[in-house]
Amino acid sequence: IRAEARAKWNDDLSRILVEGGTKTERTIFYTALYHVLIHPNILQDVNGEYPMMGSLKTGKTQHDRYTVYSLWDTYRNVHPLLSLLYPRKQLAMVQTMLDMYKEGGWLPKWELYSQETMTMEGDPSIIVLNDTWQRGIRDFDAQLAYEAMRKGADTPGKSNLLRPDNDDYLSRGYVPLREKFDNSVSHALEYYIADWNLGQFARSLGKTKEAQLYERRAQGYRHYYDKETGLLRPILPDGKFLTPFNPTLGRDFEPNPGFHEGNSWNYSFFVPHDIKGLCKLMGGEQKFVSKLQGIFDQGNYDPANEPDIAYPYLFTYFPKEAWRTQRLTKELLEKYYHNSPSGIPGNDDTGTMSAWAIYSMLGFYPDCPGSPSYALTTPVFDKVTIHLDSKYYKQPKLVISKG
């Protein structure tokens, strides 16, 4: 059994072969890949039985049934990485998510052992389903997925397990701050990226009018833009901005009105589906780049908090500024990732921090979940060979050489 387990791990880890770099860098890289493969993990017993979603009933599956869906974290980079390296695993995870919908009536938000924990915010399953689809893994029930996605997006708030403040969101286009620490801006930003993904999925199914509806919703982030500070700012029920407003409040997980586990700086660039639109809103490329660089210079970048972990890659939207991405990814890898017990910045969040390191060491990153494109940086290794699954890719491998 031990030999078989070792062989299986070697097979999975050798999906990527790296050449060059130091021994420590290679250790960090493969440790990170190991971390990514820990969760979600298989739930069913040897006979295929598993606990059904949200009940005491037992089901039986013909495919692998997965559990531990920390989706607010993992939609950003773990699931895109699984789609690239292990598409059959990712397909089984998507099929599990749809089975959860059939069993419990909702897509998962943060599922643990077939129970919904309701941890964090947003509607992250939409993003995972669309991202998987856009990356070419399409052998799942798209109509069922679309039905499930729309339920979360369109159901009124009182009856909505995933979007409890959907009444405000649908009527106003944003979520106002109704209680001191209700994370209203964080909620809405997650809904915007989810609705943009739903729009992309609808468009791929030929549902143009519905796609336009969700894409319009995804532009609602503009409500929060405050010209005075040039940042996103909570809005009160009367439509006015929160006053007083301290954009640095919330650093190091300090409680903060409107934002979850972060401050306005951590969240103000979290519009991955419309970076060019956000740039225009902020006054153009020069002001956008200056403010974005200020996040790093002033100590407001948090490598352990998901909303801002793609920020180093946003400079690549402007070709003359791409050098900033190359410099930052090198600095951040060296500062926060080590071959030691404290070698990850904070909690790994079921592989999310590790996936950031993997991508950054390979030289590319999925800065916009739901889009099959990547932002580029300088790879750590001289040569990388990624072995691809012939069922989903025309070429047997992807080779990256450091020039």
The DSSP-derived string for 3-29 is: HHHHHHHHHHHTTEEEESS-HHHHHHH
Q: Are 361 and 19 in contact (CB under 8 A)?
A: no
Q: Would the pLDDT of 327 be above 90?
A: yes
Q: Are 35 and 354 in contact (CB under 8 A)?
A: yes
Domain range summary for the chain, segments of one domain joined by +: 2-401
Distance CA 301, CA 253 (A): 13
Global confidence as pTM: 0.98
Q: Are 141 and 98 in contact (CB under 8 A)?
A: yes
Q: For residue range 91-131, list pLDDT tens digits in order.
A: 999 999 999 999 999 999 999 999 999 999 999 999 999 99
pLDDT for position 150: 99
To which residue do tokens 């996103």 refer? Answer: 232
User: For the residues 309-313, what does the mean pLDDT come to?
Assistant: 99
Q: For residue range 126-165, list pLDDT tens digits in order.
A: 999 999 999 999 999 999 999 999 999 999 999 999 999 9
User: CB under 8 Å to 189, separation ≥6 — which residues?
Assistant: 221, 232, 267, 270, 271, 307
Distance CA 357, CA 165 (A): 34
pLDDT for position 253: 83
Distance CA 350, CA 355 (A): 10
pLDDT for position 23: 98
pLDDT for position 7: 96
Q: For residue range 185-203, list pLDDT tens digits in order.
A: 999 999 999 999 999 999 9
As a whole number, the mean pLDDT across the chain is 98
* 2-401: CATH topology: Glycosyl hydrolase family fold (1.20.1610)
User: For the residues 367-380, what does the mean pLDDT come to?
Assistant: 98
Q: For residue range 27-77, list pLDDT tens digits in order.
A: 999 999 999 999 999 999 999 999 999 999 999 999 999 999 999 999 999
What count of Cα atoms within 13 Å lies in the side-chain half-sphere of residue 175? Answer: 26
Question: Packing angle between helix 2-13 and helix 23-36, nearest 10 degrees?
Answer: 110
Q: How confident is the model at residue 213 (pLDDT cuts 50, 70, 90)?
A: very high
The DSSP-derived string for 84-102 is: HH-HHHHHHHHHHHHHHHH
Q: Would the pLDDT of 403 be above 80?
A: no
Q: For residue range 226-280, list pLDDT tens digits in order.
A: 999 999 999 999 999 999 999 999 988 888 999 999 999 999 999 999 999 999 9
pLDDT for position 117: 98
